[in-house]
A and B are shown apart, each in its own frame.
Chain A
Amino acid sequence: MSGMASPVIFWVLAVVTVGAGLAVALTRNIVHSALFLVLTFIGTAGFFMLLEADFLAAVQILIYAGGVSVLLVFGVMLTRHGNIKLSNPLNRYKITGGIVAALLLLLTGGLILYSEWEVSPEALREQESTVSAIAVSMLSEYVIPFEAAALLLLVALIGAVLLAKGVKHSK
């Protein structure tokens, strides 16, 4: 992104993303909630793009924004009852919820404020790709977490197949 426009784009994105995030929690209709979630994810992808992490932005859209449609289907299938307007109710744990949220805010906020951020001394060159850098570090430095994630996914896949297949009852 060229220098002049990026603060404008940042603030537009920030307002949209945070607003959509709030709407996810506050909307009573679960389908609307899920749709606002898509908007939040797309906003996040916009931030990645602003930071010149174009590969991450595309991954964000593919995995999250694209994948949400599946979530939406589940939302529709599992919660559809008489009145859709009450499908995403607010619960009554106001104090507990408040404490948990405050603690989480303190934790993440503290970490953000007190960690030392590395600022790249020069902007990424126009045609330089982040893809190969990610690929190399994924298959060298972080190969064990990468394989562990692959294993986890495999377990989930086999679990899903078993669940879908069901248990045969012998008579």
Chain B
Amino acid sequence: MESLFINIGNLCREKVVELTEVLNLPEAFAGYFMVLIYAIAILTFVLLNAIVLVYLERKIAAYLQQRLGPNRVGPRGILQSLADVVKLLGKEDIIPRAADKWIFRLAAVLVIVPTVMVYAVIPFGKDMIAVDLNIGIFYFIAISSTATIALLMAGWGSNNKYSLLGSMRVVAQMVSYEIPLVFSMLGVIMIAGSLQMSDIVAAQKDMWFIVFQPVAFLIFIIAATAELNRGPFDLPEGEQEIIAGPFTEYSGMRYALFFTAEYANLISTSAIAATLFLGGPSGPWLPSWMWFLIKVYAMILFFMWIRWTIPRIRIDHLMKLNWKFLVPLSLVNIFVTGVALKLFSGW
């Protein structure tokens, strides 16, 4: 069980090498094919989980609000998401006449690119990282910082004042909350002494970093919620004020892409939280990838719980919370971590 996926990977590699030999291609092509296979595996993981999460979110929201939630399609409404996917696929692709057409079209595609790219460095299990970059966590930060551009393009390209307002909010919120998010990761990186994911996981062999860095974990959770544009920080799409923000003009499959990206980001951020603070894919008895899934889903459920419990915050409070509370707090956390590290490791 432990090395189930690794064995599948090795089997694929053998077959690919055989194939390149049969086709008389240069050896390097086997590597390219393997990259393609990894990419397909990651995409499958993302899409499957996104479908599950949509159902999960609706059910949890319903239970928290004492409703039943989806309960008509299949037993306990379990096929609801599938029905929705089919519906969205069949919908007409509407592009407003006044829209900046190329930007409008591109935005829906580009939003999914950084979202999927960050999965390259996520340790799904023991020895199960697609690319174990030596700058792993920094790669995650860098790639996810470009997600704002796609949302801004969507808001601008729609040529709709609510969309533009929403995308302005996206930029203001995501750029500001990136700072405490990165600073909170810094405490962990300082203790692990490495940016590489496998090193960070290995450093938590004896004790999870949530024990050493509880404040950083708290800051990470708050900042990540804001980065994900989820409640109570879902101002960019605050329905009562600006309809659906940047997504207002989108319908059908393009809207579905934004929706998928949102849930894919939720999974990857939860995976990063699990890796940095909850010991990554390590744990007793069960195989490592199963532990990783359990931890990731625990984080996702936590994010959902927050979203449906706390009402939306006001925009000036949002900025105040970041600049006057989270940023100073995260700086203090870095300072304390540095001093403590020096004290315990000796001068």
Contact = CB atoms under 8 A, between A and B. Distances in A.
A66 B142 CA distance: 8
Interface of B is mostly: helix
A127 B134 contact: yes
A5 to B, nearest CB: 7
B156 A4 contact: no
Contacts of A59: 142
B26 A4 contact: yes
12 contacts: A4-B28, A31-B100, A32-B103, A38-B146, A54-B133, A54-B139, A58-B142, A62-B141, A62-B145, A66-B145, A66-B148, A69-B149
Contact of A54 (B28, B135, B143, B153): B135
A83 interface: no
A73 B152 contact: yes
A2 interface: yes
Interface residues of A, number: 26
Given A66-B142, A73-B152, A129-B134, 7 more contacts: A35-B103, A35-B149, A58-B142, A61-B142, A66-B148, A72-B149, A129-B195
A32 B100 CA distance: 10
Given A31-B100, A58-B142, A38 B134 contact: no
B142 A62 contact: yes
A69 B141 contact: no
Contact of B195 (A4, A62, A131): A131
A61 B146 CA distance: 8
Interface residues on B, range: 20 to 34
B138 interface: yes
A144 interface: no
Given A54-B134, A58-B139, A131-B195, A2 B28 contact: yes
B168 A55 contact: no
B19 interface: no
A162 interface: no
A61 B144 CA distance: 10
Interface string B31-63: 100000000000000000000000000000000
B166 to A, nearest CB: 12
Nearest to A76: B156
Contacts of B168: 73
A65 interface: yes
A70 interface: yes
Contact of B143 (A2, A61, A131): A61
Contacts of A16: none
A98 B145 CA distance: 37
A61 B114 CA distance: 11
Contact of A72 (B135, B138, B141, B152): B152
B109 interface: no
Contacts of A67: 175
A65 B135 CA distance: 18
Interface of A: 2, 4-5, 31-32, 35, 38, 54-55, 58-59, 61-62, 65-70, 72-73, 76, 127-129, 131
Interface of B: 26, 28, 31, 100, 103, 133-135, 138-139, 141-143, 145-146, 148-149, 152-153, 156, 164, 168, 171-172, 175, 178, 195-196
Given A62-B145, A70-B171, A70-B175, A35 B135 contact: no
B153 A35 contact: yes
A129 B133 CA distance: 9
A131 B142 contact: no
Contacts of B134: 54, 127-129, 131
Smallest CB-CB A-B distances: 8 pairs = A66-B145, A62-B142, A58-B142, A129-B134, A69-B148, A61-B142, A58-B138, A69-B149
Nearest to A56: B135
A69 B175 contact: yes
Contacts of B142: 58-59, 61-62, 66
Identify which of B143, B148, B178 gathers the most chain A CB atoms within 10 Å of its CB.
B148
B164 A76 contact: yes
Contacts of B143: 61
Contact of B149 (A2, A38, A128): A38
A55 B195 CA distance: 10
B141 A55 contact: no
A126 to B, nearest CB: 9
Contacts of B133: 54
A69 B152 contact: yes
Given A58-B139, A129-B135, A5 B149 contact: no
A70 B168 CA distance: 9
A31 B28 contact: no
B135 A131 contact: yes
Contacts of A76: 156, 164
Contact of B28 (A5, A73, A127): A5
